[in-house]
Amino acid sequence: MTTGVAGLDGDVGLRLLRTMWRIRVFEERVGQLTRADEVHGLVHLSVGQEGVAAGVCGQLRPDDAAYSNHRAHGHAIAKGVPLGPLMAELMGREGGVCRGMGGSMHVVDVERGFLGATGVVGGNLPLALGSALAGRLLGGDQVAVVFFGDGAVQGGIFVESVNIATLWELPVILVCENNGFAEFTPRSAHTNVERVSDVVAPYGLDRETVDGNDVVAVREAFAAFLDGARSGGGPFLLECLTHRLRGHYEGDPQHYREALAAEDWQELDPILRLQQQLDHEGFEVEARAEVEEAVEWARSRPFPSPEVIAELVYA
Amino acid sequence: MAREQIPYIQAIGEAVHQEMARDDTVLYFGQNLALTEEDPFVKAFGADRVRVTPISETAEIGMAVGAAFAGYRPVVQLYMAEFMLVAMDQVVNEAPRFYGMSGGQVKVPIVLQAGYGFTAGWAGQHTGTIYSMFMGVPGLRVVVPSTPADAKGLMTAAIRDDNPVILFHNYLLTLEHGDVPEGEHVVPIGEAAVVREGADATIVGIGWTVGKALAAAEQLAGEGIDAEVVDPRSLAPLDTATIIQSVEKTGKLVVVDQATRHGSAAAIITAEVASQGFSSLKAPVELVTALDATIPYSEPMEQYLLPDETKIVAAVQKVIGSPVVA
Amino acid sequence: MSENGLSTERLSWMLTQMVRIREFEERVKSTFEDHPGVIRGHTHLADGAEASIVGSLATLKPDDQLTATYRCHGYPIALGTDTKAMMAEIYGKETGICKGYGGSMHLIDIDRGFLGTSGIVGQGIPHAAGAAWAAQIRGKGQVVLSFFGDGASKQGAFHETLNIASLWKLPVVFVMENNNYQAYTRVEQEDANAAAGEPLAVKAKAYSMPGETVDGGDPVAVYDTVHAAVERARSGDGPTLVESMVFRLSAHGNIIAPPGVPLHYPEHEAVAIFGNVEEYEAAKRGDPVPRFRARLVTEGTLSAEEADEIAEAARKEMDEAVEFGLESPLPAPEKAVEHVYA
């Protein structure tokens, strides 16, 4: 049970709301830009899942390693990746966090501990374990966090990672955004175990399932695990039940599911829910201005010159 | 009356459908297919033979092998070749080995359908051209159709072949339309096609680069250079004889491949011509391949790396103008 | 004796197979000493696992199938595969069951339902599920047994396959022979459940399937457990994970050495690496083959003479297998390029 907004210190609530609005506005703008082909290639937006990114990443330090998957923009923004360089990356420009080399699915910002997005389902899990192991060896209290979807749980790499993380008691927090769909198929086509926390139950790691659209509940549950990981515990699994409002990728006609009714979305929307409790307006407008500035800035950046590639093959 | 042209991806599906109708041991499965009972494959062949799988390539390909042991002919839709890398053991170390290891007791007639080369902003992990990794694996067949008709013909042949076959289809060709025979259509595995005749130079193109080679040949024709374009269509087995026959005619060879130089089929083709057709060569072989880098996301960089008509034309001009090899 | 009322004949058959497996494996091992150079590469023996193998296979009907690992000699012996051809295969001879192409790790007997093995840990598990899918389509009530070791349960293939098999309710039974060692590593060193003192069968809960642990040294107990799982699979209710506790009496395999160094079986890892002499001695005392023989004789199912006859027949059979293997010719070298493509 969450203590709710009332349990939040100071302006934590406002910060959560602001982060979510920044993600929401950024993602919707990216959606428009893909249709105008200013952002090209394969893009996966996290509209609807902002609560998880904000609730988790807001509590992390730059020296905590965060990994994400193909649906990474929200996690990157919440981890502190600035919007201008992020947008420039999506536009393939110099000034992009990866100088245009990576694109949407390969956003990396080492300075801010966003060790990155990866494009192959489950490929990020063992990477996070590596960071956790390194953190342990370095002797500090930094932790690793890895975001993945419910679809990744059926992959072999998932159980290999859970077994080792548990055996070695690694300070890694596995955050599963369970939105009930793996690309275009519902969870029931992938497994007959509904809850991801039940899949890991036999390994005995500390785990919890929360309403991923209740950003305060996410924050609270994660805080407890973060505390545990910093004090030498681990691993942990936080399953966040959430909703991916848009298609799997931008352009996905979504023939495989019924569109959510507007009223139903109103009740699920993590932003609206917090906003009603905090009674604060203004972040949306602020976010629009910030995002537009990012778009203009990104548009002004040159495309990288091809010679750059040769420099970036080998260290 | 010939029907309208159909897209490449539809041609592949047509082959699978027709083979499943002809032979009820053919199975079809993979991620994100057979989503509902309305799916045409499910309606036609039932939910037993057509299934959606979780994201579990090791299990998907391994199960295909096991079902093949038990007499079935599975087709696995893997979507992208890179996803095979997750399950390399099953692809390279299991499927092609059992026939040999068992002294011929058991066959593994599986087909792995793998898209590749999606250099349209899909960035570093979804754009690779990795077919050459599989060319030297004994027991494994590799085919790379460049036209919708060949896509149908080679998929049909792949399903009928008693060995494991990887069918690589370039994502950039997905919606390319072409004339495709409506009924049964088989393109034998291991047979190259001369898709444009010419006398001055041979251009070997693979998959998506065949179209680039043909465009380059058009441009060269305007300069009075008559290029012959050969499409191997299969990489394992490789129809070296047809390629060498062309080089015997022209004496000049340019090989075009979307893969990187040392990771390309072009390198293997070049080695074979140097080894078996050396006396026909009047100039060193030119390879036009992707430059050695992980495909970047940003479009100008992405395109910079790839073979294109300009590079192919320049390569032909180079071999035409090169001094004669003593 | 068992809930399933195993007949005297069946019990006698079970002891016979266990003894035959033991005699065969002893011959393989002694070949390294008696005829150095005849066996090359890496062999893995089933001594200590006979009760688990035979108890499991005793549940099968003629058109059921199975896959196994590189530790594969025991299964075809119990199925009735010609032991001469098996030994010849291990010796690399052209009269071998795979004509010398496969060797010890890759025995196969399709006609008897033994669909083969993989040398790569865990990778045969999805093969079994594929065969089970085929069985499900055919709808004739066939079941497939998937044998693997405890080490395989840390492979992604285990996770992926058990999930799909459960979701599709495939007629497969997963039999994990837990011998507490993954090659040279103890199970607690590599498995989170074992490290927590739990049986590995708990992993079944992740796949919403039943998980059972059984004493793999008691063939009747194994029979009872696997039989229930096989019937469950046959009736369309889906797979089960059976954890069969065994102790392999030999080391993981013969030593790994380049050509020129004579191959042989070293000491068991319990002693050689972990210095745990008592663990090994206790396992030898609990050797399932003499244990089962003693039980059958004590209970009057068999007389001592009948038990002796079984042993004598097995010795003779396996001596002949060795002879046949030694006398058989090696394959002609040029055959190497055959059996590449079907």
- CATH number for the domain spanning A165: value is 3.40.50.970
Q: Is C167 within 8 Å of A191 when comparing Cβ atoms?
A: yes
Tally C-beta pairs within 8 A across A and C: 66
User: Which residues in chain C touch residue A152, judged by CB atoms under 8 angstroms apart?
Assistant: none
Of B68-77, B228-237, C133-142, C320-329, minimum mean pLDDT range: B68-77
Report how far residue B45's alpha carbon sits from residue B27's, in angstroms, rounded to the nearest whole number.
Answer: 9
The SS3 assignment for B49 reads helix
pLDDT tens digits for B40-50? 999 999 988 89
Question: Which C residues 150-179 touch A at CB under 8 Å?
Answer: 154-160, 163, 166-167
Helix axes C156-167, C124-138, angle to 10 degrees: 20
**Looking at residues C255-264, what average pLDDT do you find?**
85
In this prediction, what percent of chain C has a pLDDT beyond 90?
Answer: 88
Q: Tell whether A160 is within 8 A of chain C (Cβ).
A: yes
Considering only CB atoms, C206 lies closest to which of A157, A190, A201, namely A201
Residues of chain B positioned with their CB less than 8 A from the CB of C112: none
Q: Does C96 touch chain B (CB under 8 A)?
A: yes
In chain B, what are the domain boundaries? 6-178, 193-320
Chain A residue with the nearest C-alpha to that of C161: A156
Answer yes or no: do A204 and C192 touch at CB < 8 A: yes
Say what the pLDDT of residue C183 is.
Answer: 84
Chains in touch with A (≥3 Cβ pairs < 8 A): B, C
3-state helix, strand, coil in chain C (%, to 5): 50, 10, 40
What pLDDT, on a 0 to 100 scale, did the predictor assign at position C1?
58
Residues B17, B126, B169, B177: which is the catalytic one? B126
Q: At residue C236, does pLDDT exceed 80?
A: yes
Question: Residue C106 has what pLDDT?
Answer: 93
CA distance B48 to chain A (A): 14
The predicted pLDDT at position A138 comes to 84
Q: In chain B, pLDDT over 90 holds for what percent of residues?
A: 76
Which pLDDT value is given to residue C256? 83
Give the nearest partner residue to C207 out of A156, A193, A204, using CB atoms.
Answer: A193
* Cβ distance of B104 and C338 shorter than 8 Å: yes
Domains in chain A: how many in total? 1
CB C68, CB C75: distance < 8 Å: yes
| Rounded Cα gap, residues B171 and B258, in angstroms | 12
The CATH T-level fold of domain B193-320 is Rossmann fold (3.40.50)
| DSSP-derived 3-state class of residue B178 | strand
B201-210 pLDDT, tens digit per residue, is: 999 999 999 9
CATH topology of domain B6-178: Rossmann fold (3.40.50)
Domains B6-178 and B193-320 share a fold: yes
For C:162-181, CB contacts with B below 8 A are 163-164, 167-168
Evaluate whether residue A5 is within a structural domain.
no
Higher pLDDT pick, A266 / C173: C173
Topology (CATH) of C8-252+264-323? Rossmann fold (3.40.50)
- Dihedrals phi, psi of A159, to nearest 5 degrees: -75, -30
Say yes or no: C340 contacts chain B, CB-CB below 8 A: yes
- Categorise residue A122: left if φ over 0, alpha if ψ from -120 to 50, beta otherwise: left
Mutate to test the interface with A, among B298, B299, B306, B308 (most CBs of A within 10 A): B298
Residue B323 is predicted with a pLDDT of 54
Of the candidates A122, A183, A312, which has its C-beta nearest B32's C-beta? A183
CB B41: neighbour CB atoms within 10 A? 19
Alpha-carbon distance of C219 to C234, in angstroms, equals: 21
Query: What is the per-residue pLDDT for B55?
Result: 85
B93 close contact with A: CB closer than 8 A: no
pLDDT tens, residue by residue, B61-111: 999 998 998 889 999 999 999 999 989 999 999 999 888 888 888 899 999
Q: How confident is the model at residue C135 (pLDDT cuts 50, 70, 90)?
A: very high
Tell me which residue in A156, A167, A192 faces C156 most closely, judged by beta carbons: A156
In tens, the pLDDT along C183-220 reads: 888 999 889 999 999 999 999 999 999 999 999 999 99
Q: What pLDDT, on a 0 to 100 scale, did the predictor assign at position A1? A: 54
User: What averages of pLDDT result for each successive group of 10 residues across chain A (315 residues)?
Assistant: 77 96 98 95 95 98 95 98 97 94 92 91 90 86 96 95 93 97 92 96 97 97 98 97 92 88 90 91 96 98 88 76
Looking at every residue in chain B, the average pLDDT score rounds to 93
Please state the rounded mean pLDDT for residues B184-194.
Answer: 98
Check: CB of residue A159 under 8 Å from CB of residue A224. Answer: no
**Contact at CB, B55 and A182, closer than 8 angstroms:** yes
Kindly report the nearest CA distance between residue B150 and chain A, in angstroms.
Answer: 27
* B177 is a catalytic site residue: no
CA A270, chain centre distance (Å): 14
Task: Report CB contact under 8 Å: B67, C130.
Answer: yes
Distance CA(B28)–CA(B24), nearest Å, equals 11
Please state which of the ranges B154-168, C95-109, C166-180, C310-324 shows the lowest mean pLDDT: C95-109
Mean pLDDT of B226-243: 98
Q: Say whether pLDDT at B326 is over 50.
A: no
Q: Which amino acid is at A292?
A: E
Cβ-defined contact of A202 to C166 (cutoff 8 Å): no
**Is residue C4 pLDDT above 60, yes or no?**
yes
Amino acid at A278: L
B62/C137 CB distance under 8 A: no
CA angle C164, C165, C171 (to 5 degrees): 160
Q: Which helix (H) or strand (E) holds B30?
A: strand B26-30
Specify the pLDDT at position C3.
60
CA distance B103 to chain C (A): 4
Chains in contact with C, where contact requires at least 3 CB pairs less than 8 Å apart: A, B
Answer whether C99 sits within 8 Å of B103, measured CB to CB: yes
What sign for the dihedral angle of Cα B245, B246, B247, B248?
positive
Give A167's contacts in chain C (Cβ within 8 Å): 190-192, 195
d(Cα B325, Cα B322) in Å, to the nearest integer?
9
More confident call, C297 vs B323: C297
Average pLDDT, chain C: 95
Residues 6+ apart with CB under 8 A from A159: C154, C156, C158, C159, C206
What does the pLDDT average to over C311-325?
98
- Peptide bond preceding B148 in cis form (omega within 30 of 0): no
pLDDT reading at B128 higher than 60: yes
Chains B, C: CB contacts within 8 A come to 143
- Kindly tell me if the per-residue pLDDT of B322 is higher than 90: no
Nearest to A106 among B35, B297, B299 (CB): B297
Q: Per-residue pLDDT averaged across C110-125, rounded?
A: 94
Cα angle, residue A261 at apex, residues A258 and A266 outer, rounded to 5°: 135
**Could you tell me which residues are beta bridge partners of residue A67?**
A116, A146
A136 in any annotated domain: yes
Rg (CA), chain B: 20
**Domain contains A282:** yes
Q: Which residue type, as a one-letter code, is found at position B100?
A: G
Min Cα distance C223 → chain A (Å) is 26
Helices first, then strands: H and E counts in chain B: 12, 14
Taking an 8 Å cut-off on Cβ atoms, the answer to whether A122 and B301 are in contact is no
